[in-house]
Structure formats: structure tokens, C-alpha cells
Structure 1
Amino acid sequence: MRVPDADVRTARRRSAGAPRAARGLRVLAAAAVLAVVTAGCGIRTTSVPVDAGGAPSRVPCSLSEAALTAAPDAGVPTRVYLVCASGLEPVHRTVRPEGAGPGDSARVATAQALLEAMRERPSERERQAGFTTYLDEPLKVAAGRAGDPEGALRLSRQPEDLPPAALAQIVCTYAESDATSVSGTVLLGGPGKYPVRRYVCDESVKARPESPLPTRAP
């Protein structure tokens, strides 16, 4: 029996449309899967290119020349060490040794003034640059007692009981001051009967202040 031409054409259109319909279903299914995956990852789909900006910059740990050359008021310009990016970096301070007199009196007054400068809250510019201090508790410093080596200083707390980074700040700051250092080292003790220790500030201490500080025989 001969099939009418109209029926043949209809059958051909249906057979040709089937693959296209299947392909369309597969595309829709893939789009649905992609939408679910991106939603699960917390990514919002968008047809508009988004400029997220550059990658976050590393903490600079440096201050502008304006901050470094600011005219100091009445006092002695000096440097103290703060913590930045897990290391020690110097910042400029102005200290005012109170009760300074001859000999040990001047040395202790300078040591106390440096302690206060290290405890001073970093300025807004310093905080933005990443600086902080681990020396957050009040400390007093006194001259060494009888039997201590010349140039020794004693803190109101045992040095080894301080946070390592705080002790590193003290040692590296004292090591740079003629009034508080002895041949580039720092002789520190505490209020107890323990002997003083000779602490050293070298590049390893500045790079890793959280590590134990190297010492030498007094």
C-alpha cells in the first residue's frame, strides 16, 4: 500500500526533530546541574563581568618618611622594637627618663622609659602597617643587686616568665641603647634569687621572636 506523501513528510519532520529535542534536554539538564553546583559553593551566577580588584597585599611593616621624621617634642628620640608580621621591627619613639641622675640612676630611668615606650599603644598609622606590642603588662625595672655583674638590670617579673615575643622586644630594644646594654648584650634578672642572664639579640631573634632567646654566661 502506498503511503501518502503528506504522511511521509510528517514522519520525517518528527524523526528529525527528535535528536534536536534530545540535545535541548541535555543542555537544560547540564545548566541545571551547573546552577546547583555553583549555589552549593556559595558562588552567585552572573552574566555581567565582575572586577573583584587585586589580591590582598602583604603587611608592609614599614612607615612613611613623615612618620619617621616627625619632630619630637621634649624628650630623647630613640628606637624601640614592636612585632610585625611575626617578626621584630623598629619604630621611632621619644622617651622622657624621669628621675635620671648619675650612674645607675640614669641607666634605670632610661630602661624604665624604654619599657613604657614599648607598652605604648601603636599609633593608627603603625596599626595599619601591621605593628603591635606583646608587652601589655606594667613592669618596673631596677638596678642589679649585690653580686650581680656590672650593668645588670632586674625586672619586676622573671624574664623567662614573660611571653617570648615580649622578652624579645625588651632585649632587642635594650641592646641598642648604650645605657641598657653591656657590650651589645643585655643582663636581665627578675625579682627572685635567680641569677641574671646575658641575653642576645641577633637576626634570628628579630625573625622569630616567639622562639627562646639565646643567652650567654653572665
Structure 2
Amino acid sequence: MNKTYFISGIDTDCGKTMVTSLLARELHQQGIKVITQKMVQTGSSEIADDLREHRRITGIDLQEVDLDHTTCPYIFQFPASPHLAARMEQTSIDPEVISRSTTKLEENYELVLLEGAGGLMVPIQDELLTIDYLQKEGHPLILVSSSKLGSINHTLLSLEACLNRKIPVAALVYNHLPNENQFIAEESMQVLKRYLHNNSPETHWMECPEVNGADFPALGCSWMTASAPNTEQRR
């Protein structure tokens, strides 16, 4: 049955594109018909840069759904929040266009990995945040955290926001980059694991090690094909 996971991060540059790519690669190697989607791409043109990275790491060429912009219906050249990047080009983002693109992909793929832009509170429109869109669509969330200073605060705030809105958090991925202090990273992981144990025990814990060259690690995502909600029930 067709399913979609939404991948977001605790802020920009936390590693969600890498995590999305690694998940797609692993699922592809398991024989799952998987495709990635980019909600909105800013600071790019023609084909979304993040989609190119997804395909490179997955080990496949650009797909027809990339070339016809099904996988990324909104691409803006100005590198800013989606609502501002759209405004700079004298247009706006229609969330229904994104939703219809996801539905089209769900009809042809077993799993869709939908990567957001920035964090959960990033505006898509002046009056619409990414988390609003996620709540309405009902996609389970894969949240990417990181080892940089401040990540505990950003991660817990993101988790609290999702729990308060009853958004299912399927997994929390701890990205070991930038790996500046292993002692701090270990403590951060313990804090986040305790929080999940006490507040969201159904959330899977995952770790993304440092990626070196073409040595792409497996994140351990076999649970995704068994526990994802049925989109026919969700919509």
C-alpha cells in the first residue's frame, strides 16, 4: 500500500537531505519501489538540487517525475524561506499542488519520502507554516536532529510541537555531524532518548554516522515498510 513519510529537521543544514538520500538508498537496495519528493526548493533552478543529491546517493538517474516537476513542483532561485522566495518571483505556493503531487507519486510507488524545507516552523505562505501542512496531510514525521551545540533545545521544541498537535513522529534521526565534541554528543543522545522513552516511546531512534566519500551507511529502516500508516485510511 502506498505510504508517505515527511522528513524535516530541527533547523536548516542539519542533514535532512543526506538522511532522506540514505533512507531512499537503503529502501531501494531492499527492493522497495521508493521515490523522494522535495516540498519546495529555494536557491536552485530547473531541477531541485536536493533531488539531484537524492538520486546520486540512491544510485539512480533523474526520473521522469523529476523532469516533469512532480517531485518538486516549486523551485525558486532566491535562497530564502519558501514564502519569501516565492514572493521574490511574484508568485505564491499552493499547498494543494504539493499534495496532489504526493498523491500522484503514491499511486506509482510503494514509499514516498517527502523532504521539507528548513525546519517545521518555516512559512510556506504568510499564514501557513510547514507544520500546519504536515498536520493537515497527516504524514508521519521523520525528524532529523544533529550533534551541534543547541540541538537539544531545537529537537525538544520540535518534538513538543508535534506531540501537542498530535503529529505522529515515526523516527528521530540523530545526525552525528558536525561531531565537534563526542562527550557533548553522547550526553545529547541520552537526553533525547530519555525524552522519547517518557513522552513518545513509539518513536524509532536512528543514528546517522559521518558519511565519508561514497561509503554510504545503512540507517536501519526496515521498520518503515511494516509500520507506515495506510494512506487510503489517512486521506
TM-score (norm 2): 0.25
When you count strand as a share of all residues, which structure comes out higher? Answer: 2
Give 1 or 2 for the bigger CA radius of gyration.
1
TM-score (norm 1): 0.27
